[in-house]
A and B are shown apart, each in its own frame.
Chain A
Amino acid sequence: MTIVVGYVPKPEGRAALVAALEEADLRGEPLHVLNTSKGDAYSDPGYATEEDIAEVEALLEESGVPYELEHRLGDRAGGAADILEAVERLSASLVVIGIRRRTPTGKLLFGSDAQTVLLQAPCQVLAVKA
């Protein structure tokens, strides 16, 4: 069993990572850190830079929890679909995501990855606020 965490280089992503680390330590399960981008825009603030990844790795090394880091450009899915795919593939026991405040309009226009994961994940979901 594995714990999957969706990481983004933002406060909510970091909060999710910290919570996931605690949970992994508690459950004694390995951690799978996921950061992907569709790569179809010129810039994607959700896609971790080299520095972000180095920071994440340092944090993970320090904790001593066995982990795996998946940092890639998704083919066409992106966001929630990538997380759900990883959950399925690893038959995860828990998925950890960071959530932030959204306006109804924003959700209507751009959708909500968090909501998709919450509703569609086949396992437990831990939603962490920044």
Chain B
Amino acid sequence: MGDLTGLLEGFSTALQPMYLLYALIGVLLGTAVGVLPGIGPAMTVALLLPLTYTLDATAAFIMFAGIYYGGMYGGSTTSILLNTPGESASIVTALEGNKMAKAGRGAAALATAAIGSFVAGTIATVALSLVAPTVARVAVQLGPADYVALAVLAFFTVAAMLGASPARGIASLALGLFIAVIGTDSLTGQQRFTLGLPTLADGIDVVIVAVGFFAVGEALHVASRLRRGPIPLVPISGKGMTRDDWKRSWKPWLRGTAIGFPIGTIPAGGADLGTFLSYATERKLSKRKEEFGHGAIEGVAGPEAANNASAAGVLVPLLTLGLPTSATAAIMLAAFQSYGIQPGPNLFAAEGELIWALIASLYIGNVLLLVLNLPLVGVWVKVLQLPRPYLYAGILTFAALGTYAVGASTEDLVLLFVLGGIGWAMRSYGFPIAPAIVGLILGPIAEEQMRRTLAISQGDPTALVTSPFAAVVYVLVVLALVGSQWLKRRQARLDAVVFAQAQRDEERLVPTGGTSAEGPSRKDHDSRGAR
């Protein structure tokens, strides 16, 4: 019952006009960045991290949560109308949704994505409100060795699941862990990798690394390949969802939620996996398999629901264990830390008011997003007409400004652009950024817990694995590593099947005209663009 009271109190906080305004700003901003390809919620929250120095914690987290959810909604719009996923969790939506839009059912695709997101987001938030406090009560009993095990689990699954190959993911993770140890060791006062520079003695601020990797790196990456023509936007057509569409959508929504939420809670690299699993499930269960790859509404409804459900799922380990399982969650953890709050099992007890307000704001954010997204799709699509040079120049300015605001030091700016250069190189060579961020933020926590374990056991390293919980987690690490490769292979195979089907489809269409002109002329644009 205590939880319900907490939640109601949370609503009474989150419904205050001031916090409603922050939620509105958050969802507006989140939808805008979700719509734009390349800019995701992780980058936006990173850019806004300096706000945590002035804004009160509740306002900041309500806004960040809005951005997180909004990004998930916005991504589907771009996928459906532009065939370019706005963020990685919307890749599957691009497969089916764009085909639907081209077939003149764009409005139905957008509606099923938005309503599905709302249904899934709300159910998943209810699940979060129920599960999180329970998990927290169990998690209180975890010892330092167990935390080390959980951190290792998060490290390896995030590194293995994201990016082009596990080796790249682990390299990225290692880079993050390395940046995390730079600075003065808190226990011994020893300087680590500081090169004797006073700037590095305090370590590198998380804000600088996150902004450097996400914002500066991404901006440079886009600038380096700017000459790409506009992508034809499919006009929004059709009348919205028919009775048949509703009938075909509601089950995928619920199944997507059921798949997405648990996937979000385990450290599996956020929402991407859930969307693919949901898509595969819908494809298997559908009575109209032949429609998949040509615009099946189930293929939009399920994955979109899964992606929003997993966004809520990600908050479970974040709020109860302090374990970030996606890039955005890692940056939100950094935000908690900058308020001097350490997410973990004691969070619900120590900061109950803040956390329940945050959870309540998720319910409110979902309603706001549904209201904003259904009728205002046309407005969001306009965001895509923003010239990219203006957009990225703005991001770079904001990144530099935010970094300077944190420490008012020029060295930080130099560091920002050095890290931005590294981020750009990583982005260009297919190294995922998220493992580096997770390593950076979770690394120091894992280190502290490991040293605590060793201190308690007086230097006996077996203490790290003898706790039953830790042992189970290490077994899971091995299983997850094997399992993730299996899942990836399945995902690749699914991609290949769908792609081949779409290809066959196009070939069949060529003789009747229409698409035939598209191939050569598109190439023509590209070659011009490459000049």
Contacts and interface: CB of A to CB of B under 8 A. Distances in A.
A98 to B, nearest CB: 18
Given A47-B229, A49-B232, A73-B229, A42 B529 contact: no
B289 interface: no
A85 B302 CA distance: 50
B187 interface: no
Contacts, number: 58
A11 interface: no
A42 B528 contact: no
A7 to B, nearest CB: 16
- How many B residues touch the partner, as a band? 20 to 34
Nearest to A71: B521
A73 B385 contact: no
A43 interface: yes
A61 interface: no
Interface string B89-113: 0000000000000000000000000
B531 A75 contact: yes
A44 interface: yes
B82 interface: yes
B48 interface: no
Contacts of A22: none
Interface stretch (A32-40, A87-95, A111-119, A122-130): A32-40
A38 B232 CA distance: 14
Contacts of A41: 230, 384-388
A49 B230 CA distance: 10
A54 B516 CA distance: 12
A72 interface: yes
B517 A42 contact: no
A45 interface: yes
A82 to B, nearest CB: 13
A39 B386 contact: no
Contacts of B381: 43
Interface in A41-67: 41-45, 47, 49-50, 54
- Name the residue in B82, B232, B525, B528 with the highest tally of chain A Cβ atoms < 10 Å from its Cβ: B232
Contacts of B430: none
B227 interface: yes
B517 A45 contact: no
B37 interface: yes
A50 B384 contact: no
Interface string B357-401: 000000000000000000000000100111111000000000000
B517 A40 contact: no
A73 B529 contact: yes
B531 A42 contact: no
Interface string B422-455: 0000000000000000000000000000000000
B384 A43 contact: yes
B521 A44 contact: no
- Name the residue in B36, B230, B385 with the highest tally of chain A Cβ atoms < 10 Å from its Cβ: B230
B230 A43 contact: yes
Contacts of B228: 39
B499 to A, nearest CB: 22
Contact of A43 (B227, B385, B528): B385
A73 B525 contact: yes
B517 to A, nearest CB: 5
B528 A50 contact: no
Contact of A38 (B84, B384, B387, B528): B387
B230 A37 contact: yes
Interface string B249-290: 000000000000000000000000000000000000000000
A40 to B, nearest CB: 4
A42 B37 contact: yes
A113 to B, nearest CB: 14
B518 interface: yes
B233 interface: yes
A44 B230 contact: yes
B233 A43 contact: yes
A40 B389 contact: yes
A50 B521 CA distance: 9
B231 interface: yes
A75 B525 CA distance: 12
Given A42-B388, A73-B529, A37 B229 contact: yes
Given A39-B227, A43-B230, A72 B528 contact: yes
Contacts of B227: 39, 73
A44 B385 contact: yes
A45 B388 contact: no
B517 A50 contact: yes
Interface string B507-524: 000000000011001000
Contact of A42 (B384, B518, B525): B384
Given A39-B228, A45-B233, 19 more contacts: A37-B230, A39-B229, A40-B226, A40-B387, A41-B230, A41-B387, A42-B36, A42-B37, A42-B84, A43-B385, A44-B385, A45-B385, A49-B232, A50-B517, A50-B518, A72-B525, A73-B227, A73-B525, A73-B529
Interface of B: 36-37, 78, 82, 84, 226-233, 381, 384-389, 517-518, 521, 525, 528-529, 531
12 contacts: A37-B229, A39-B229, A41-B385, A41-B388, A42-B37, A42-B384, A43-B230, A47-B230, A50-B517, A72-B525, A73-B227, A73-B525
Which are the 5 A-B pairs with shortest beta-carbon distances? A44-B230, A43-B384, A39-B229, A42-B384, A43-B233
